[in-house]
Every structure is written in C-alpha cells, then in structure tokens.
Structure 1
Amino acid sequence: MASQPQANQLPLFYNSLVPLSSQLHPNHGLKPRGDLGFTRGTHAIPVTVDEFPLVQRHFPIVFGVGDNPAPLALVGLQEGQNLYLDANDQWAEGLYVPAFVRRYPFMLARLSPDAQELSLCFDDSAGVVIENEGERLFNGTDPTDTTKAILQFCEQFEQAVMRTRAFMEELTKLDLLMDGEVTIQREGLAQPAVYRGFRMVDEQKLQNLRGDQARKMVQSGLLGLVYAHLFSLSLISPLFERQFQAAQPATA
C-alpha cells in the first residue's frame, strides 16, 4: 500500500533535474502553478517530522517498507490514486498540502557524486520555469527575491529531512516498527477490506520501553511524534470511505 522511490531513482514527481543558474536561465521566470495534477498518480507522499502536527489532522501517517523507510502521508489506499484531487486537479479545500508537493519542481541536489555542496535544481518538464514569462528568477547574475525564497524553502526542507532521518534512526534503534495491517469492515460489503504493505509503530513495544528510553523520547520530543503517527491511523477508515464513494457510479 505504501511505497517510496528507490535510492537510484529520481524522487517522486521528478522526471529530470537541471541546475538553475543565471548563465543557463538569464531570462527565465516562474509561472504560477494552476493545479496539482502532477500528484494524481500517487497515493503516498513523503512528509517530514516538522509536518506531523499538521498532517495528523488530515491524513494517516505511515512508514514505507525497505531499508530506509520514510514517513508517508496516505492520500489514497490504492497505488496511483490520489483521492484529494478534484476533476480540475485542485487539492481538496481546507486540507494540508505536504511540503514535498509545494517544493516541486525545485529541490537541492548534488551535481556530481563527489560534490560537497547542494545546488538548486528544478524539473524542466514541469512547465513552470519558462523563458521570458512569470516572475523573473535572475537580475543579471543576481538571484531575485523569488529565487531567494525558493532556495530558503528548499534549505528548510532539507533541514527537516535531516531531522526526519534522525527520528527514523531512533525508531529503528529501539526496534519500534512493525509490519502494518488494517482491516475495515463496511456495512453492505461481504468481505472486509485489508490493507498491508506499510510499517507502523508497535504500541506493545512502545509500552514496554525501559524508563530511561521512554524519558529520553519525552525529552527529545520523539514520543509526541510517535503519538501523532498513532493518532493519525484513525483516519484510515474515513479515507476508505472516501475511496468507496469515489468508486460509486455517478448519478444523473
């Protein structure tokens, strides 16, 4: 149910990465994005621990499978189905839009495996960085306020990613993650719906932590993040209901 990009692939949503520079893009500008249609083909969006307090109110937070699992906000229960986009590719009103979505098409990346610095790059297939259109990205060789704001957002995102990795390392060290399974029985359905393919915190192991381990989790703020994840799982049932309603034939 919850999958994430492989390490040797471009991140989710990205088809290419081009470094943004005044030499290559002296007259380019940023066009306003009219929709979030690029998210339609995904059901699980990476989130950072900084976002947990907001995400838990709107989406279930689970963890991906594999060697380096990441927190994921579920926006659907089936591969390739985002249930929070309308027919016009607009995000459901009033619901939180994850930073991973808002960052696109920009991101910080190393231009070579041995590069020490991260460079601001963008997906040139996104169609929002256009020559002689939109808000200018450079004045001569100097970045404009628009570019500075993009860079600042991407830097803050990377810092949140580092905090998220530390959180995941701590969960792994404490052996708190287990394979998840959710069973939903809806009135009128002969068989319950069962969802697997994700990881979640094992509440029994959490309760059995030694006192010093639990105290450390409280002091570091990690325990609050764990409970944000656990509380958010109650939203899987409403998400299933949303999926069920979306599958019903339209009435005239």
Structure 2
Amino acid sequence: MATAAPANQMPLFYNQLEPLSSNVHPNFKVRATDKAPFLAGANAIPVTVDEFVLAQRHYPIVFTADENPVPLALMGLNEGVNVYVDDEGKLLNQDVYVPAYIRRYPFMLARLQPDAQDLTLCFDRTADVVGEFEDGQALFDGDKPSETTQNIMKLCEDFEMSVQRTGAFVKELKDADLLIDGEVSIQLSDGRPPFIYRGFKMVAEDKLRELRGDALRKMNQSGMLPLIFAHLFSLSFARDIFGKQAAQGKGPDLAATAPKAEDKADA
C-alpha cells in the first residue's frame, strides 16, 4: 500500500531541481492550472502533522514501513491508483483537502550542497507551469522577488517547519514503541475472502490504551493524542477508497474474484 522512496532519489514528483534566480530567470512567470498529471498515478502523498486534522476527513493516514517512517495520505489502496483525480490530474471533488506537498509543487526549498546551512528556493525545470510565458504571475520585480515569489517562499518555509515537527512526532511514537506493521482488511458482503492491504505502519491501539502516568501525560500535554486519534479515525476511509476504486474500474477486479453461484450454494 505504501512504500518508501529509494535513497538518493529525487523527491516524489520532482525531476530536475534548479535554483530560482533573478539573473537566470528574470522574465519567468508561474501560471495557474487545475490539472496535475503527475498526480494521476500517485496513491500516497506525504503529509505533516499540521495537516492531520484536515486530511483525516478525506484520506486514510498511514506511515511508511521504513526505518524513518513518514506519514502518508492514501489517495488509492493499490499502486498507481488515485481515486481523487481524473487521468489529467484534475480533482474530481473540489472540496477535498489538497496536501501542502502537492500545493507547493513545482517549488521546494533545498540545500544546494550537502553541507550547506541555508535552504534555497528551487523549482522543477520540467514543470510546464513555470517559464517565460505571456500569461501568469511574474516571479521577479526587477532583481527582487515578486509578491508571488514571497508567498511561494512562505508556503515552502511553513512546509519545512511542519516537516521538522512531524519528525519529532514520529520519533515520539517510535520511542514509545507505538508503531506496528499495519493491515487493512476489506470484507465484502458476498462471501468472498477479504482483500488485505499491508506494507505500512500504524499506531497500535492496544499499546496506546496501556499508556499510563508520565508517558500518557506527556503525550496529552504535547498535543500528540489528538493527532494520533486523527490518524486512527482516518483509517476507516480505506473502505471508502476501495469502493471508489471499484466504481472507477481501478484496483482489484471484483467481478473476476466474485464467488460463483455453485460456490455460494456449497458454502
């Protein structure tokens, strides 16, 4: 269901990062679009703890199964399936929450050198929404960042700070030994075996209930408990996504796996 990105790979969606510069890109603009083709085959999007409360109303929130778990909003249960957008990456429901990871694209803050202290605003050179266009919003006012660029910078800075808070949150979960291998079971009403999804981590409810004293008090005072509950409540959306996959003809072929009439009679 969820897999971690291989080491030394470009971040999800990004192909060719380039520092934004008034010397190199003085006439560049960014133009609005309601389509994101890169989303069409993306079933899991990183989210931060600052987004849990909003995201849990729309997506299951799980954690990657690697050494340093990352929270993910699931937009599909099967690899390459996204039930929230069409084939062009256009939202099927305009009221759905869009994670900040998506909203900041094609921009991001990055270190130009591994030992660099400062982060530089970069953009994906392969994105078709940034370039020397007649339309769009200018990224520079002379040699100064335009108001548009300042707003983009603020979004990226806020996201990076949220990432740090998310890392601290996940570390607390690991230190408390609350993360376990997850499993979602979708049981249909026609008697066929359940559809099982694994490959992610989740908070163990039984271990959470066993917390006592200082450990429980610390999580309550730090604001972790509402975030944990948001994650746990969100898991119920897995069945909704499964149903959307079936309605859109994506994911498992339900007709092919349905029990035959004689099988039902013998049951």
TM-score by length of 1: 0.95
Which residue pairs with 1:145 in the alignment? Answer: 147
Which residue pairs with 1:165 in the alignment? Answer: 167
CA 215–35 in structure 1, closer or farther in 2 if over 3 Å, else same = same
Which residue pairs with 1:192 in the alignment? Answer: 194
**1:1-252 matches, cutoff 5 A:** 1-93=1-93, 94-133=95-134, 134-188=136-190, 190-247=192-249
Distance 1:41 1:117 in 2: 33
- The question of whether the paired residues in 1 share the 8 Å contact of 2:45 and 2:99 is answered with yes
Letter of the 1:12 partner, please give it: L
Deviation of 1:87 after TM superposition, in Å, equals 4.4
Question: Counterpart of 1:96 in 2: which secondary structure?
Answer: coil
Letter of the 1:101 partner, please give it: I
Question: Counterpart of 1:9 in 2: which secondary structure?
Answer: coil
Question: Counterpart of 1:73 in 2: which secondary structure?
Answer: strand
TM-score by length of 2: 0.90
Distance 1:71 1:85 in 2: 21
Deviation of 1:132 after TM superposition, in Å, equals 4.0
Question: Counterpart of 1:54 in 2: which secondary structure?
Answer: helix
CA RMSD of aligned residues (A): 1.4
* Aligned sequence identity (%): 55
- The question of whether the paired residues in 1 share the 8 Å contact of 2:57 and 2:234 is answered with yes
- The question of whether the paired residues in 1 share the 8 Å contact of 2:40 and 2:86 is answered with no
| Matched residue count | 249
Extract unaligned runs of 5+ from structure 1.
none
Question: Counterpart of 2:12 in 1: which secondary structure?
Answer: coil
Q: Which has the larger radius of gyration?
A: 2
Distance 2:3 2:90 in 1: 23
Distance 1:106 1:90 in 2: 19
Extract unaligned runs of 5+ from structure 2.
254-267
- The question of whether the paired residues in 1 share the 8 Å contact of 2:37 and 2:87 is answered with no
